[in-house]
Chain A
Amino acid sequence: MLRSRKPVPIAFMVLSLLYFFYVIGSGSSRMIGDEIGGDPGTMVLPLVLSVFMFLVSTFLFLTDKRQSESRSSELGRDDLQLLVLTFIISIVYILMMRTLGFIICTVILLYTLVFFYQRHGIRKNDLSVWFVGVIVSTLMTLGVYSIGRTITRFLFRISRENSNLAWIGSRSFTLFVVLSVVIVVFVVILFVSRSFFRENRAGDTINSAWIACMVSVASTELLYIVFRQAFFVQLAQGLVAW
């Protein structure tokens, strides 16, 4: 009987039961200062929701049957690999963000996903290229980041030392200068490396790695500049403390 049923209603039934017992167990509390009474308390709505979810999920469990053609829409091996890879690397990205920092985590995640998505799956032959590409991308990103950071600090110092040139240290000017320099540096790297790594000279794998490297470096830098320098979002520094 269970084979013909979809799993989601079953999951909802279990979760709503757990939610029901959790709500009962945690008890109710009322508004602060509710001496006169009248406040329904914190338990009413969660209780009603858990009962409602259980009833509806039971109804769907009985009525919503798995269609025969849905089995053919299940994921292939390569698709499943990419899905699992994406999920696992996302977890690692979040867990390591504080330790390694935004720059390192982002470039590694982007490079890995772009590379393996282009390769349409994970193959043993590609792993060595992937590993070298991770190192190269990370070092390139840190290099471009360092250039941008040096320029920003230089501009701030000038604006602090000369009151007439205070505008140099303004957010908009530093953003403009850093963005321009970073774009120029990246374009130079792109054109210099392009001739070596184009598909007709390098293998398919190397070409995929090169594309992944360029995309990850450019995207990480752009995201850093937009969110950190334009919108002042405090991105985790991690190991990149300069």
Chain B
Amino acid sequence: MAIGSILGIIIGALPGLTATMGVALMMPISFQLPTVTGIGMLLAVYCGAVAGASIPAILLGIPGNPNAIATIEDGHRMTKRGLAGQALGGAAIASFIGGIGSLVFLVLFAPMIAKMTLAFGPAEKATLAVVGLTIIASISGKNIWKGLLTGALGMAFALFGTDPFSGHLRIPFQSLLATTPLAKGIDLTSALIGLFGISQIFIDLTAVNRKKQSIVKTEIGRLFPPLGKIVSMWKIILSSLGIGTLIGAIPGTGASIAVFMAYNAAQNIAENSKGKLDTLGTGVLEGVFAPEVANNAVTGGALIPTLALGLPGDAATAVLLGALTIKGVTPGFHLFATNMSLVYAIFIAMFVANVFMFLFHLLGVPLYPKVFNVPEPILFPIVLILSFIGSYAVAGQAVTVGIYNMGIALVMGLIGYVLRKDGYPIPPIVLGLILGGMFEENFRRAVKLAGGNYFTFFTKPICLLFMALSIASIAYSVTLRRRERRAT
């Protein structure tokens, strides 16, 4: 499990090698081990990869995978202020709190939470996707309309490819592109790498020509955030823990929504704290803690439907589910009723995985910032090639798909560069890419189930709650910006 943790952190830190890929790559090795040890190793890779994604997000402003997008905002700013050590140490502690906290939820409330998530039908999932998008649009950048526009662009990208229900091709120049990998749509990991990694390199290229100016300070600063500071964030920690666990418990959602919801909640908590907490978005620890607690809380939450219902909470737990099935373990009520010893063994393995993740994440903190001793003319090409190879590697054994993924990464990099130069936020595009497919699938299912009635969304209480949240988020953001403009 220790090796699994180290591998997981490395995999999470490398752009292009996602937690899902890490779990999938380790599956053949896990089959050689006893059931609990094998599952434990996969859990260690999973937890390590989720936590490891924060390392490049903080140091380089490039997320290791979608879970760390929200960490960039404050984490990378802290690095630029010479507080990289605190950001990395804070991320390690936050990840540990999130992982262990969600494990407590998993153990104590698994049956109850599993029952709650059964209430989420297609309509609820569709409106949840809208909530996620509006929240990210409202917290990204200074102009909510730019955020909504880029979010819509992301959703349009998500619809590119083949319709999942009818097989209808939705791509231009079909005679040319129909036989290419693009017919399956835009690969999310490649798009992510392009939008954040390659566009960042294009933007930072001007630093190459400024000999004396460096992008970031190489000073790490103290490694651990003050204990008093961590304790003062107890509201943020609890709220992020709850959000991450609950979102993770909803089948098929993943950490991408949770991190932004947690960040938004933390923003509200900080603003109402009467100065006790710092404002998020200015390079503060609160902005690192909230998303990192949430994304590791998702790991425990995602195991709830996986173990209790046999429905994966996210892509990585889908692979884990496959590993369990191959091992002869059938998740669901039957598992809890007849094999509780295995369930408890998995809980203990999850605990040990989080401990190892925390230890190795912290032990490596002094080593990670060494990357900044490398001059920019050397660092940028290496990051660029790593971005290309990362997007290529997603395809695994398929060379043609890998080459197309690199093309997607480059095109997205160019789009990201142009948008960022004009002040358009990138996170809404990514969330649109992630949620667009989920939204359309659930929207069409919901309307179909209601017999073609589009007003079904207004008849369900959970949907109304989510819609109210969306409207409130937009209204709050617009009001806040107006106040800021009046103040200046």
Measured CB to CB, the nearest residue on chain B to A31 is B165
Q: Is the CB of B168 within 8 A of A42?
A: yes
B residues near A114, Cβ cutoff 8 Å:
377-378, 381
Cβ contacts A35-49/B at 8 Å (1 or 0 each):
011111110011001
Partner of B422, one of A7, A46, A91: A7
Q: Is the CB of B440 within 8 A of A45?
A: yes
Q: Is the CB of A83 within 8 A of B202?
A: yes
B residues near A8, Cβ cutoff 8 Å:
418-419, 422, 424
A residues near B209, Cβ cutoff 8 Å:
76, 78-79, 82, 120-121
User: Does chain B have a CB within 8 A of A109?
Assistant: yes
Cβ contacts B368-395/A at 8 Å (1 or 0 each):
0000000011101110111011001100
Q: Is the CB of B403 within 8 A of A233?
A: no
Q: Is the CB of A93 within 8 A of B152?
A: no
Q: Is the CB of B399 within 8 A of A236?
A: yes
Measured CB to CB, the nearest residue on chain A to B375 is A118
Q: How large is the interface on B (under 10, 10 to 19, 20 to 34, 35 or more residues)?
A: 35 or more
A residues near B201, Cβ cutoff 8 Å:
86
Measured CB to CB, the nearest residue on chain A to B382 is A219
User: Does chain A have a CB within 8 A of B155?
Assistant: yes
Contact A90/B166 with A49-B156, A79-B205 known, Cβ cut-off 8 Å: no
Measured CB to CB, the nearest residue on chain B to A26 is B170
Q: How far is the CB of B452 from chain A (nearest CB, A)?
A: 4
Measured CB to CB, the nearest residue on chain B to A237 is B399
Measured CB to CB, the nearest residue on chain B to A60 is B145
Q: Is the CB of A117 within 8 A of B382?
A: no
Q: Is the CB of A57 within 8 A of B444?
A: no
Q: How far is the CB of A203 from chain B (nearest CB, A)?
A: 17
User: Does chain B have a CB within 8 A of A234?
Assistant: yes
A34 to B167, CA, bound (A): 13
B residues near A94, Cβ cutoff 8 Å:
388, 403, 406-407, 410
Contact A117/B208 with A86-B201, A94-B403, A219-B382 known, Cβ cut-off 8 Å: yes
Q: Is the CB of B165 within 8 A of A231?
A: no
User: Does chain A have a CB within 8 A of B183?
Assistant: no
Q: How far is the CB of A225 from chain B (nearest CB, A)?
A: 12
User: Does chain B have a CB within 8 A of A64?
Assistant: yes
A residues near B277, Cβ cutoff 8 Å:
none
Q: Is the CB of B384 within 8 A of A22?
A: no
Q: Is the CB of A40 within 8 A of B166?
A: no
Q: How far is the CB of A29 from chain B (nearest CB, A)?
A: 4
Q: Tell me the interface secondary structure of chain A in the complex.
A: helix
Contact A233/B382 with A12-B149, A46-B159, A94-B406 known, Cβ cut-off 8 Å: no
A227 to B10, CA, bound (A): 12
A40 to B450, CA, bound (A): 11
A139 to B261, CA, bound (A): 52
Partner of B398, one of A83, A106, A110, A234: A234
A residues near B414, Cβ cutoff 8 Å:
87
Q: Is the CB of B17 within 8 A of A22?
A: no
A192 to B163, CA, bound (A): 59
A98 to B406, CA, bound (A): 12
Q: Is the CB of A98 within 8 A of B403?
A: yes
Q: Is the CB of A31 within 8 A of B393?
A: no
B residues near A32, Cβ cutoff 8 Å:
165-167
A19 to B268, CA, bound (A): 37
User: Does chain A have a CB within 8 A of B221?
Assistant: no
Cβ contacts B156-184/A at 8 Å (1 or 0 each):
10010001011110101000000000000
User: Does chain B have a CB within 8 A of A103?
Assistant: no
User: Does chain A have a CB within 8 A of B76?
Assistant: no
User: Does chain B have a CB within 8 A of A6?
Assistant: yes
Q: How far is the CB of B220 from chain A (nearest CB, A)?
A: 24
A91 to B410, CA, bound (A): 8
Contact A22/B152 with A113-B380, A231-B393 known, Cβ cut-off 8 Å: no
Q: Is the CB of B145 within 8 A of A46?
A: no
Which residues, 389 to 446 on B, are CB-close (under 8 Å) to A?
A: 389, 392-393, 396-400, 402-403, 406-407, 410, 414, 418-419, 422, 424, 439-440, 443-444
User: Does chain B have a CB within 8 A of A223?
Assistant: yes
A39 to B208, CA, bound (A): 54
Of A22, A53, A93, which is in contact with the most chain B CB atoms at under 10 Å from its CB? A53
The 3 closest A-B pairs by CB, nearest first: A117-B377, A113-B381, A29-B168
- 8 CB-based A-B contacts, threshold 8 Å: A8-B419, A30-B165, A31-B166, A52-B148, A60-B143, A75-B206, A86-B202, A233-B393
Given A120-B208, A223-B385, 15 other A-B contacts at CB below 8 A?
A8-B418, A12-B153, A31-B166, A37-B452, A40-B454, A41-B444, A46-B156, A86-B201, A90-B198, A106-B385, A113-B381, A120-B209, A215-B381, A232-B397, A233-B397
